[in-house]
Every structure is written in C-alpha cells, then in structure tokens.
C-alpha cells in the first residue's frame, strides 16, 4: 500500500493529536485521583482528629473512674498504716513519759524547793532590811523628839539638897532659890527672874526622901550664870549653917530622861575622865585629853563605843 506524503502528514498529525489527547486525559485522571486522595486523606485526618478529641474524654472518664477506685483502696490501706504507726508512736511516747515521770517530778520538786528557798532567803533579806529601816526611822524620830524636849528645858535647872517643909509654898521656894543663887555668886530678884518653881514627884508620907526642886528662869542668861557659879556651893559654910539645906546642895541641868541616861552611861566608860551637861549638851573629856560633844546615842561612836542599844536610852523603843 502506497501512502503519499500528504496522507502521511495527515496521519502523523492525527497520531500526534491522539497522543496529546490521551496525555491530557491521563493528566486529568491523575489530578482527579490526586484530589480524591487528598480529599480522602483530609477526611481521614479530620476523622482521626475527631477521634483524638473524643478519645481523651473517654480516656479521662475511664482514668477518673478506674484510678479513683484503685487510689481509694490504696489510700485506705495507707491511712490504716499511718494510723497504726501514729498509735505505735503514741504508745512509745506514753510509756517513755510514764517511765520518766518519777524522775521529772523529782527534778521539778527539787527545782521548786530551790526556788522557794532562794525566794525565802531573798524575802527574809528584804524583810530584815525593811525592819532595819523602820528601826532606824524610829531611832531618828525618838532622837528628834528628845531634841525638841530638851530645847524646851533650856531655861530650867534642878536643885537638890533642899529640905522639905510641909508648909512650904511657891513663894518660900522662890526665897530658897534666891539664897542658892546668892551663894553661887548671882544676884537676882525672885519675883522677876523666876518663872516657875515646884517640887518634882509626889510627896511621901515619911520624910526619908527629899524631892528635888525644878526652877524655870525668865532668862537663859540667868540660868547660865547660876550654872557657872554652882561650884561655890561645894563645901560652903553658908550651906552648912543654913537649916534649910542638907549637907550637899547641887544645881544641875534639867535633862530629858534619854540625856540623863546618856550622861550616866558616859561617866561609866573607862575611857572617859569626866562628863557634864551644859545647855542640854553632854561634854565628855576622854583620858587622851580630847573633848567630845554628845547629844544622842549616835554620838557615842565618837567615844569609841561600838555596840549601842538605843532602847537603853529611848524608852519608846522598848
């Protein structure tokens, strides 16, 4: 069979066109299958995602149900074990405390007794200090009262050795005092120089005791002059020749009871040569030649007296 050129060209174009169409059809099928596959894969992916989303809920449900039962059972067992352990510990602690309790009680009692003893000693010390302070305050108060009382007696003198007469009066006593002053070297007018005069103490039924006479002068200067000249009364003929006087007439300061005891106490001390009172103050001369003034028991320290019993001088402290 003879094919000319024209027919050959036409056949070639037909074959080429058919090849192209078949190629295009194949490409279309490929695209369709790819898209189908892609769409299938996409649906599968979406299904897997949905399954994944649902699966955690299902799993969560199962996990919350199943493990909760196991956890509860395990927790119960563990709780019982913990409770038993705690009970064992409590039993051990209780037995230990019971065993140590006598020792603890003994230690506490000893500590309390020590504390009480120390507190008692401290309290006793405080009480002793308070008592000493109160005692010191009482002594100071008594000394101050004595000082004021002695000051009120600064114009007074006490005359001893004047015989008593049942018929004596204040005027007759003034005349006797005036006579004593004259012997002492002091001239005075009884009516203007004497403020008061009388016997001390109550009269006795018998005349065995001669009561002293206390005199208050109107001037302390008059009193001081008589005290200065009282030495003239000693061994005086005017005293011996006067029936009104005893053998010994003396003039002394009007001292309080406390200062009178002080004067007596001082004169009894071996280190004292002599002591006397002047204007209510006790003047003491020691054997070493030193003079000291004493107004209260505290001043006895200056005379070398260490142990002082204040109640021996102040009756209010007994």
| Structural domain count, the chain | 1
| Domain that includes residue 186, residue range | 154-254
Could you tell me the CATH number of the domain that includes residue 206? 3.30.70.1820
Residue 13 falls within a domain, yes or no? no
User: How many angstroms separate the first and last alpha carbons of the chain?
Assistant: 181
pLDDT in tens, 206-228: 666 789 999 999 999 999 999 99
Residue 181 falls within a domain, yes or no? yes
Residue 49 falls within a domain, yes or no? no
Query: Under a CB-based contact definition with an 8 Å cutoff, are residues 274 and 285 in contact?
Result: yes
Residue 283 has pLDDT above 50, yes or no: yes
Query: Under a CB-based contact definition with an 8 Å cutoff, are residues 303 and 272 in contact?
Result: yes
Residue 249 falls within a domain, yes or no? yes
Residue 229 falls within a domain, yes or no? yes
Query: Under a CB-based contact definition with an 8 Å cutoff, are residues 259 and 150 in contact?
Result: yes
pLDDT in tens, 16-45: 666 666 666 666 665 555 555 555 555 655
Residue 169 falls within a domain, yes or no? yes
Look at residues 220, 238, 221 and name the one whose alpha carbon lies nearest to residue 180.
Answer: 238
CA 67, 72, 77: angle at the middle one, nearest 5? 125
Residue 296 falls within a domain, yes or no? no
Residue 188 falls within a domain, yes or no? yes
Query: Global pTM?
Result: 0.59
Give percent above pLDDT 70 in the chain.
Answer: 74
User: What DSSP letter does each residue of 193-228 carry, written as one string?
Assistant: HEEEEEESSPPPSSSSSPPPEEEEES-HHHHHHHHH
- For residues 164 and 183, what is the distance between their CA atoms, to the nearest angstrom? 19
């Amino acid at each position: 069979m003879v094919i000319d050129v024209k027919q050959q060209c036409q056949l070639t174009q037909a074959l080429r066109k058919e090849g192209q169409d078949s190629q295009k059809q194949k490409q279309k099928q490929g695209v369709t299958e790819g898209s189908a596959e892609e769409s299938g894969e996409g649906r599968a992916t979406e299904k897997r995602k949905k399954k994944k989303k649902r699966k955690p809920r299902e799993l969560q449900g199962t996990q919350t149900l199943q493990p909760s039962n196991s956890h509860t059972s395990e927790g119960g067992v563990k709780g019982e074990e913990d409770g038993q352990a705690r009970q064992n510990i409590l039993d051990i602690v209780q037995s230990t405390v019971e065993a140590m309790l006598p020792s603890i009680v003994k230690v506490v009692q000893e500590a309390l007794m020590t504390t009480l003893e120390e507190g008692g000693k401290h309290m006793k010390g405080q009480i002793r200090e308070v008592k000493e302070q109160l005692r010191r305050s009482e002594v100071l108060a008594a000394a101050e009262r004595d000082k004021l009382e002695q000051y009120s007696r600064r114009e007074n003198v006490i005359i001893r050795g004047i015989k008593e007469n049942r018929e004596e009066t204040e005027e007759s006593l003034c005349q006797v005092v005036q006579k004593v002053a004259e012997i002492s070297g002091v001239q005075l007018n009884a009516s203007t120089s004497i403020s008061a005069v009388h016997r001390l103490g109550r009269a006795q039924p018998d005349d065995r005791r001669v009561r002293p006479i206390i005199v208050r002068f109107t001037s302390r200067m008059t009193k001081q002059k008589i005290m200065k000249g009282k030495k003239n009364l000693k061994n005086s003929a005017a005293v011996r020749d006067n029936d009104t006087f005893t053998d010994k007439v003396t003039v002394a300061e009007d001292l309080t009871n406390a200062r009178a005891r002080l004067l007596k106490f001082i004169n009894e001390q071996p280190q004292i040569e002599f002591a006397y009172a002047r204007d209510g103050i006790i003047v003491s001369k020691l054997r070493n030649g030193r003079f000291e003034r004493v107004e209260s028991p505290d001043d006895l320290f200056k005379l070398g007296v260490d142990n002082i019993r204040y109640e021996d001088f102040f009756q209010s402290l007994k």
